[in-house]
């Protein structure tokens, strides 16, 4: 009996012990599961927090950039309706242009016929160097720069000259300007609509978001990406019946023989309104000259107004590459030539600062030619500031002629 009782007691103890062990194991498993789940949840929460914080940082950065661009591109003009701000919120491009226009072959004329960089213009007034055919056009400030704004009423303007009824475009001429195109078409007509009338068989160049159309001689040609809602440099070259036209570095029009003789210029934005504003700046018409090497042999120097810099700086603008590519070609084909690169400015500002600026600009040109492969032993640079003007500083055309870079044979 005792034996049976002992066995029963041991069995019961074993059963109780096994139950305790199972309970302890379950407790441990539950605790481990709970701790693991808690750790996983904690890591997930941490990851989500980091992702959320990163997203908030990105949003803040984007917001800061947007605010900076909007403040830099304020448009100030006369009274406009309340919808105008919607269009003008689109900022001008802030990217620093790179000098990659290796195939750009446009070389501007060397004798300036008409120049307007909007210097001294009063905001909200009609641009003083232009005449009006129709619509509303006025001075404005866009991206911190003075511009001509085409507002509405099918605006058409043309250069204000002493004798606009005569043919003031020579047999060889170039036209350049910067265009901000919101949408639709901006037109350059090769006649003065007000003073010369609409001649029979006339030509007009339509500039669109992704191409150009020279009518009636050409057809729409594809551009290198859209130019809508950003600045683009427009260049036009006419040589005794042959016409080329460019958007930035890309040549889109190349007509060998025009049956029409260009006599003047009219700029026209038929679709402009307060919600679709067009802008232009840095407009120039110049008479062309002889080829660079022939000029170099004849005069012992090349004088160029086509090398452009940022205002008050020695930073080359991309449209300078047309001239620099020609200079590089000449120096490469004639390795015996050595040149002194000499910078000049107009008389605006302090004389000493102008001299320093001209020296820096000449050195910038020298370094650019070196980077293209011209040996530094063939190049020197100097700056003369405003001390050697070639024209009066009393007119925009004279000032533009004095802002030049010369390549002198040595």
d(CA 278, CA 184): 10
- Kindly tell me the burial class for residue 386, based on how many C-beta atoms sit within 10 Å of its own C-beta (0-12, 13-18, 19 or more): buried
**H or E stretch at 348:** none
The tokens describing 285, both together, are 């018409």
What's the pLDDT band for 357 if we cut at 50, 70, 90?
very high
**H or E stretch at 24:** helix 2-72
Range from 16-20, 230-234, 398-402 carrying the lowest mean pLDDT: 16-20
Range from 20-29, 132-141, 319-328 carrying the lowest mean pLDDT: 20-29
Residue pLDDT, tens place only, 241-287: 999 999 999 899 998 888 889 999 999 999 999 999 999 999 999 99
Angle formed at CA 242 by CA 334 and CA 237, multiple of 5 degrees:
70
| pTM, 2 dp | 0.73
d(CA 244, CA 234): 11
| Upstream peptide bond of 216 is cis (omega within 30 degrees of 0) | yes
Range from 49-58, 304-313, 357-366 carrying the lowest mean pLDDT: 49-58
């Amino acid at each position: 009996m005792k034996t049976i009782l002992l066995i029963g007691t041991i069995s019961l103890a074993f059963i109780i012990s096994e139950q305790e062990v199972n309970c302890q194991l379950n407790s441990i498993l539950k605790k481990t599961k709970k701790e693991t789940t808690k750790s996983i949840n904690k890591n997930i929460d941490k990851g989500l927090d980091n992702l959320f914080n990163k997203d908030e940082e990105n949003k803040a950065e984007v917001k800061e950039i947007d605010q900076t661009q909007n403040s830099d591109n304020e448009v100030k003009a006369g009274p406009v309706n309340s919808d105008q701000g919607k269009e003008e919120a689109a900022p001008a491009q802030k990217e620093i242009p790179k000098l990659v226009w290796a195939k750009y072959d446009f070389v501007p004329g060397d004798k300036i016929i008409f120049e307007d960089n909007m210097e001294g213009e009063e905001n909200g007034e009609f641009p003083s160097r232009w005449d009006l055919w129709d619509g509303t056009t006025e001075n404005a400030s866009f991206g911190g720069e003075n511009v001509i704004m085409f507002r509405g009423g099918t605006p058409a303007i043309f250069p204000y000259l002493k004798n606009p009824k005569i043919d003031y475009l020579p047999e060889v001429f170039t036209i350049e300007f910067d265009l901000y195109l919101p949408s639709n078409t901006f037109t350059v007509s090769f006649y003065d609509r007000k003073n010369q009338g609409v001649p029979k068989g006339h030509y007009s160049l339509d500039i669109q978001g992704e191409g150009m159309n020279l009518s009636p001689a050409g057809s729409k040609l594809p551009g290198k990406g859209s130019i809508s809602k950003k600045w683009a440099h427009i260049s036009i070259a006419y040589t005794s019946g042959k016409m080329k036209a460019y958007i930035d570095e890309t040549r889109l029009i190349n007509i060998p023989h025009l049956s029409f003789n260009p006599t003047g210029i009219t700029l026209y934005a038929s679709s402009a309104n307060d919600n679709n504003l067009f802008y232009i700046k840095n407009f120039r018409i110049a008479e062309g000259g002889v080829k660079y090497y022939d000029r170099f042999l004849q005069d012992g120097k090349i004088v160029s107004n086509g090398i452009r810099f940022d205002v008050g700086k020695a930073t080359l603008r991309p449209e300078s590459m047309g001239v620099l590519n020609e200079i590089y070609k000449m120096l490469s084909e004639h390795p015996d030539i050595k040149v002194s690169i000499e910078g000049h400015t107009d008389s605006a500002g302090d004389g000493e600062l102008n001299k320093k600026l001209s020296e820096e600009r000449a050195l910038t040109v020298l370094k650019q030619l070196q980077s293209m492969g011209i040996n530094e032993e063939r190049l020197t640079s100097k700056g003369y500031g405003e001390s050697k003007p070639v024209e009066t500083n009393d007119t925009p055309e004279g000032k533009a002629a004095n802002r030049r870079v010369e390549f002198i044979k040595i």
